[in-house]
Structure 1
Amino acid sequence: MALSTAFTDMFGVRHPIASAPMGGSAGGALTAAVSRGGGLGLLGGGNGDSDWLARELPVLAEEAAGSPWGIGFQTWAIDDGAIARALEHRPSAVMLSFGDPGPFAERVRAAGTVLIVQVTDLEEARRAADLGADVIVAQGTEAGGHGARHGRSTLPFVPVVVDLAAPVPVLAAGGIADGRGVAAALALGAAGALLGTRFQATTEALVDTATAKAIVEARAEDTERNRVLDIARGSRWPAQYTARTLGHPFLDAWRGREDELAADPNAGQAYRDAVARGEIPALPRWAGEGVDLIEDLPSAADLVGALAAQAEEALARAGGRPGTEPVAAPVLPADGRDA
């Protein structure tokens, strides 16, 4: 069966799956591979760095083979110029995350481009709906990379956003790393799922071999949401957004001492020196709680189809279709107490 939803109809894609626009790792090759595979690839535009976009957009244009694709930005870090440069390449969608999308929403929609807004709490969800977002991504705290410091878990958050935003399609994000997670998102009322960490562990992702290996070998308990690494590397990320990463020596040294770290004039240099010596990775290893389910490094194009097939199988099992074994209901004693 085909998993047809409002999301697949909107973009004309085969599967209700999108890849997260992960800054630095979701380059042109990864974005194009997801789109060729039947999902919606989203380029990681990050803070709108013009040199990075000038390098990756031609790769995407060449390899997407006419398939729909989009580009995502960190809303707090961009200006009108970044949006203008993106729209010149006629993306199917622009996704805005982390910050007020208001200054950019009308320009995106006026260009005839689908506006996707990622939200991390109900206030942001209401704001996205009021601005006329065409798609809303509801991100739970299980997600890898940046998210709300005081956000909500994906399972209870998604259906609330679905109800609030209706009839606007909602994508679920956070901790989804296999087809069962995609099926769960659909069961919650979402029109699809947006996956980040799972697509970071693919052959097309712009991550080094050591990072890809670390993701494959990691478990959920190896991830941690923190601000330590943003502070240590001098990142300007707003304090309300922490990042879920794999373990790191600076985390062990400064956990719970963020204010001290920010006030230490030598800490940033120590971080840069450790990177230069190869003692720590150049970038934090962003990873969500779904890492337990990641065991290989496939092509992203193949992965999209595999995720969709797994989702179809999971929904078939849940619906008791032929070939599945229904779970028998428990038999209770006559007085209604548990046996």
Structure 2
Amino acid sequence: MGLTTAFTEMFGLRHPVALAPMGGTAGGALAAAVSRGGGLGLLGSGDGDPAWLTREVALLTAATDRPWGVGFLTWAIDRAVLGRALEHGPRAVMLSFGDPTPYADDVRRGGAALMLQVTSVDEARRAVDLGADVIVAQGTEAGGHGASRGRSTLPFVPVVVDLAGSVPVLAAGGIADGRGLAAALALGAAGALIGTRFQATAESLADPAIVRAIVGGRGADTERSTLLDVVRGSRWPSEYTARTLGHPHLDRWQGREGEAATDPRARRDYDDDLARGVIPPQPVWAGEGVDLVRDLPSAEGLVASLAARAAEALGRALGDPSIGGSSASGGAAPRR
């Protein structure tokens, strides 16, 4: 039995699960595995490097004929980047962090569904006004980058659901197992966008050291900060913090962000540690649900497992284990 929502019906999916388009992790093999498993695989294209995208799309399309999409950092792209991506024929384009207004019409003309990630009510209103096909409501529990003054997933998602009306909403942030997916559906979301859980899968592009850190990580050890962007010379706008597991350079510069930004030793020391292999090649982006990640499954099987455990959780909540969910505005209805 599956869970049918407005999101699954829009793309012809078996399960209301989408892969977060994580840069450095969500390549063609991972996106294809999620799509084969019945979810929506989204490539993490970041700034839209054309060589990377061409290579990973080829890997993806060779491995599945199921729907897939691509995600970009809105602040890091231009219309030419988007145009090249649309030539590959994605079913969806997800834009995150920044004003998507200049790109909305291009996505539609390219024949893709417009997915907009939002971190505030104002951004959600803008997404509705722009005619988003899917809105992703990201809470501060999420791993990686997000709004420095965002809101937690539990109270934020239903506000966005009410605002979005008939537009499907995906919940994001702190969701790492079927119970989290069930909670998202109970809040009125049409599914969940999941990141940290999919970093620790057989098809992930994440460095083995990062995967090991996630499998052994604890949510209590994560924190949001701009420090790691500062010391590694990242172009990320300062209004976005990032949730990561602990890191030596976080400890070194804690409470001294301004000093780190102006002291050349900060970048030099980071680069030296990187070259010597003392620190992983990227910060370990991890959400608060990282405690629930304790194995390294195939992403294809993981999608079905997430949906099955969500159906069980909804059935227990309703007092009927044969029921996978209940019909609501964007919520889940059982499919046998």
TM range, smaller chain: over 0.9
Report SS of the residue matched to 2:229: helix
1:111 Cα shift?
1.9
Q: Normalized against structure 1, the TM-score is what? A: 0.94
Determine the C-alpha separation between the residues in 2 that align with 1:51 and 1:242: 28
Q: What letter matches 1:193 in structure 2? A: A
1:2 Cα shift?
2.2
Indicate the residue corresponding to 2:22 in structure 1.
22
Indicate the residue corresponding to 2:38 in structure 1.
38
Deviates more, 1:105-114 or 1:307-316: 105-114
Q: Percent identity?
A: 69
Cα distance, 1:15–1:259 mapped onto 2, change above 3 Å: same
Q: What letter matches 1:183 in structure 2? A: A
Deviates more, 1:46-55 or 1:310-319: 46-55
Determine the C-alpha separation between the residues in 1 that align with 2:319 and 2:129: 39
Indicate the residue corresponding to 1:332 in structure 2.
none
Determine the C-alpha separation between the residues in 1 that align with 2:159 and 2:89: 32
Determine the C-alpha separation between the residues in 2 that align with 1:275 and 1:15: 39
Indicate the residue corresponding to 1:154 in structure 2.
153
Can you list the C-alpha shifts for 1:105-158, whole angstroms capped at 9, x where unaligned?
A: 110012221000000001110111100000000000000000000100000000
Indicate the residue corresponding to 1:130 in structure 2.
129
Indicate the residue corresponding to 2:92 in structure 1.
93
Specify every segment of 5 or more residues in structure 2 that has no aligned partner in the other structure, as ranges: 324-336
Report SS of the residue matched to 2:25: coil
Report SS of the residue matched to 1:151: coil
Q: What letter matches 1:319 in structure 2? A: L
Can you list the C-alpha shifts for 1:31-79, whole angstroms capped at 9, x where unaligned?
A: 0000000000000010111221122111111112x10000000000001
Determine the C-alpha separation between the residues in 1 that align with 2:63 and 2:243: 31
- Map 1:116-195; keep pairs closer than 5 Å: 116-195=115-194
1:222 Cα shift?
1.2
Determine the C-alpha separation between the residues in 1 that align with 2:288 and 2:207: 20
Report SS of the residue matched to 1:95: strand
1:322 Cα shift?
4.9
Report SS of the residue matched to 2:98: coil
Structure of greater Rg: 1
* Contact 2:138/2:171 (8 A) holds in 1: yes
Indicate the residue corresponding to 1:336 in structure 2.
none
Q: Normalized against structure 2, the TM-score is what? A: 0.95
Determine the C-alpha separation between the residues in 2 that align with 1:74 and 1:111: 18
Indicate the residue corresponding to 1:329 in structure 2.
none
Determine the C-alpha separation between the residues in 1 that align with 2:309 and 2:319: 15
Determine the C-alpha separation between the residues in 2 that align with 1:122 and 1:210: 37
Q: What letter matches 1:78 in structure 2? A: I
Can you list the C-alpha shifts for 1:172-200, whole angstroms capped at 9, x where unaligned?
A: 00000000000000000000000000001
Q: How many residues align?
A: 323
Q: What letter matches 2:205 in structure 1? A: L
Specify every segment of 5 or more residues in structure 1 that has no aligned partner in the other structure, as ranges: 325-339
Can you list the C-alpha shifts for 1:297-336, whole angstroms capped at 9, x where unaligned?
A: 0000000000000000000000000589xxxxxxxxxxxx
Determine the C-alpha separation between the residues in 2 that align with 1:224 and 1:211: 16
Determine the C-alpha separation between the residues in 2 that align with 1:243 and 1:149: 8
Residue 228 in structure 1 maps to residue 235 in structure 2: no
- Map 1:1-339; keep pairs closer than 5 Å: 1-64=1-64, 66-322=65-321
Determine the C-alpha separation between the residues in 1 that align with 2:306 and 2:238: 34
Determine the C-alpha separation between the residues in 1 that align with 2:322 and 2:173: 30
- By relative contact order (CA 8 Å, sep 6+), the higher-ranking structure is 2
1:269 Cα shift?
1.4
Runs of 4+ in 1 over 3 A off after TM superposition: none
Cα distance, 1:265–1:55 mapped onto 2, change above 3 Å: same
Deviates more, 1:278-287 or 1:92-101: 278-287
Cα distance, 1:203–1:188 mapped onto 2, change above 3 Å: same
Q: What letter matches 2:71 in structure 1? A: G
Report SS of the residue matched to 2:2: coil
Cα distance, 1:263–1:93 mapped onto 2, change above 3 Å: same
Determine the C-alpha separation between the residues in 2 that align with 1:55 and 1:235: 24
Determine the C-alpha separation between the residues in 2 that align with 1:269 and 1:189: 48
Determine the C-alpha separation between the residues in 1 that align with 2:155 and 2:223: 20
Deviates more, 1:308-317 or 1:254-263: 254-263
